[in-house]
Amino acid sequence: MSVPNSMRVGPFCASVLAKKKYMILYVFLIWITLLPSILEIWWYWQMLWNDIRPLHFYVFLPLFLFVIYVSTVFVAIFFTKILLVIISIFHKPREGVFLRDISDKDYRYWSLRNTLKKWPTWLAHKFPFPFLDNICFKVLGVKTKFSNSLFEGWVDTEFMEFGKNVVVGQGAIVQSSVIIGNFLIIRKTVIEENVRIGAHVIVMPGTHIGRNCILNTWSSTMVGQELEEGWIYNGGPAKKFKKNRFFEDIPIEKLTETIGDMDGLLKKYDEQREARGVTKKRLLHRKDKEEPTTEEKE
């Protein structure tokens, strides 16, 4: 089943291929990752299969499949890291504005790195627990903490630095590289602690979000934009909306005192909801009365 782009979530890896021959490395990585899994299955079969009493084989099979999946992710991360280290010997990743052309060395190696990262990040994200995502991010070079929730957004896999207690909303895109026209822009993106990034937000490369910031849903930043700490930002490009007081050590009653009589508001809301329900019923009843029966139509 196809999934709308706005609902696709997970670690971000660009699908740009500067050269088709990079797919050879990609296929090789998948092959070498799956080899240990095949050996594990063979070992499990040899150890527990019994033609007369196969019960133990099936009882422990779910747990074994879980172990196989986790081990496959770790093997994929391990071999990807080795290949990335070898590639960085020839050309290290660097920030800058580069030409989107095969002749540009930075563009070619950026494309190659992203091609290799797609397999382990895809595997890690299919796991139902987010800790594998964080391990994958850390090994591939993203500075992040296990307290962060990056699971629901597209997060780039290099030149990224996160403080602690960061939450990325569903469908948000946090990137350190972007292709604009014929140019590839790579800049380090820094998100400090206690930052909340809303759903479907676009954070452009080089953005620096200060601590205790909130970026509202559907907002976006510009390349290299600085977001001052302690503020709520809204719009595209993001602009200061109001001071963020949610991380202050203030009782909730004081934060909501501008609302006024909460009980009164809730009561009014219930009354309005009931009134809408009654009005809807009356309209449906009136419609049924006005519609002619089959006999009247004849």
Q: Are residues 276 and 137 in the same domain?
A: no
Does one domain contain both 168 and 115? yes
Residue among 14, 73, 72 nearest 39 (CA): 72
Closest by Cα among 111, 119, 156 to 21:
111
Mean pLDDT for the chain overall: 83
Do 164 and 203 lie in a common domain? Answer: yes
Say whether pLDDT at 37 is over 70: yes
In a domain, 151, yes or no: yes
What mean pLDDT do residues 229-234 have?
A: 92
Looking at per-residue pLDDT, the higher value among 33 and 20 belongs to 33
pLDDT at residue 253 tops 80: no
Question: What are 199-222's pLDDT values in tens digits?
Answer: 999 999 999 999 999 999 999 999
Please name every residue paired with 149 in a beta bridge, in sequence order, or none if there are none. 167
Same domain as 276, residue 158? no
Residue owning tokens 């050590």: 249
- Segment 40-94, tens digit of pLDDT: 999 999 888 888 878 888 888 999 999 999 999 999 999 999 999 999 999 999 9
The phi, psi pair for 220, rounded to 5°, reads -150, 155
| Residue 298 within a domain | no
Residues 45 and 89 in one domain: yes
Residue-wise pLDDT for 137-194, tens only, equals: 999 989 999 889 888 888 998 999 999 999 999 889 999 999 998 999 999 999 999 9
DSSP letter at 7?
G
Residue 113 in contact with residue 119, Cβ under 8 Å? no
- Kindly report the number of other CB atoms within 10 A of residue 32's CB atom: 14
Please name the helix (run of DSSP H) or strand (run of DSSP E) that holds residue 98, with its range, or none: strand 96-99
Q: Which residue has the higher pLDDT, 283 or 30?
A: 30
One domain, residues 99 and 26: yes
**Which comes out higher in pLDDT, residue 171 or 282?**
171
Residue 250 domain-assigned (yes or no): no
- Residue 120 CB partners (closer than 8 Å, separation 6+): 73, 76, 77, 80, 136, 140
How far apart, in whole angstroms, are the C-alpha atoms of residue 37 and residue 43?
Answer: 10
Q: Residues 177, 269: one domain?
A: no
Number of domains, the chain: 2
The per-residue pLDDT for 258 is 52
pLDDT at res. 228: 93
Q: What is the pLDDT of residue 109?
A: 94
In a domain, 249, yes or no: no
**192 neighbors 229 (Cβ within 8 angstroms):** yes
C-alpha span between 210 and 117 (Å, rounded):
28
Q: How far apart are CA 17 and CA 114, in angstroms?
A: 9
Q: The dihedral of CA 26, 31, 32, 38: what is its sign?
A: positive
Residue range(s) defining the domain that contains residue 266: 256-283
Establish if 294 belongs to a structural domain: no
On whether both 261 and 142 belong to a single domain, the answer is: no
CA distance 15 to 118: 8
Is 220 contained in some domain?
yes
Among 29, 60, 32, 33, which residue's Cα sits nearest to residue 45?
Answer: 60
Indicate the helix (H) or strand (E) that contains 282: helix 262-290
Query: Are residues 236 and 99 part of one domain?
Result: yes
Q: Per mean pLDDT, which of 4-8, 28-32, 294-298 is the most reliable?
A: 28-32
Residues 46 and 41: their CA atoms lie apart, in Å, by 9
- Same domain as 111, residue 52: yes
Helical H segments across the chain, by residue range: 22-48, 55-59, 61-90, 105-125, 131-139, 252-255, 262-290, 294-297
Tokens of residue 116, six digits: 């290799």
pLDDT at res. 226: 95
Residue 227 pairs with which residues in a beta bridge?
A: 209
- Residue at 289 is within a domain: no
Distance CA 269, CA 93 (A): 56
Residue 291 lies in a domain: no
pLDDT-derived band at 133, boundaries 50, 70, 90: confident
Q: Do residues 66 and 102 share a domain?
A: yes
Q: What is the pLDDT of residue 20?
A: 85
Report d(CA 222, CA 70) in Å as an integer.
Answer: 38
Q: Are residues 171 and 217 located together in one domain of the fold?
A: yes
Residue 4 pLDDT > 50: no
- pLDDT at residue 6, rounded to an integer: 43
pLDDT tens for residues 104-128?
A: 999 999 999 999 999 999 899 888 7
The model's confidence at residue 7, banded by pLDDT at 50, 70 and 90, is very low
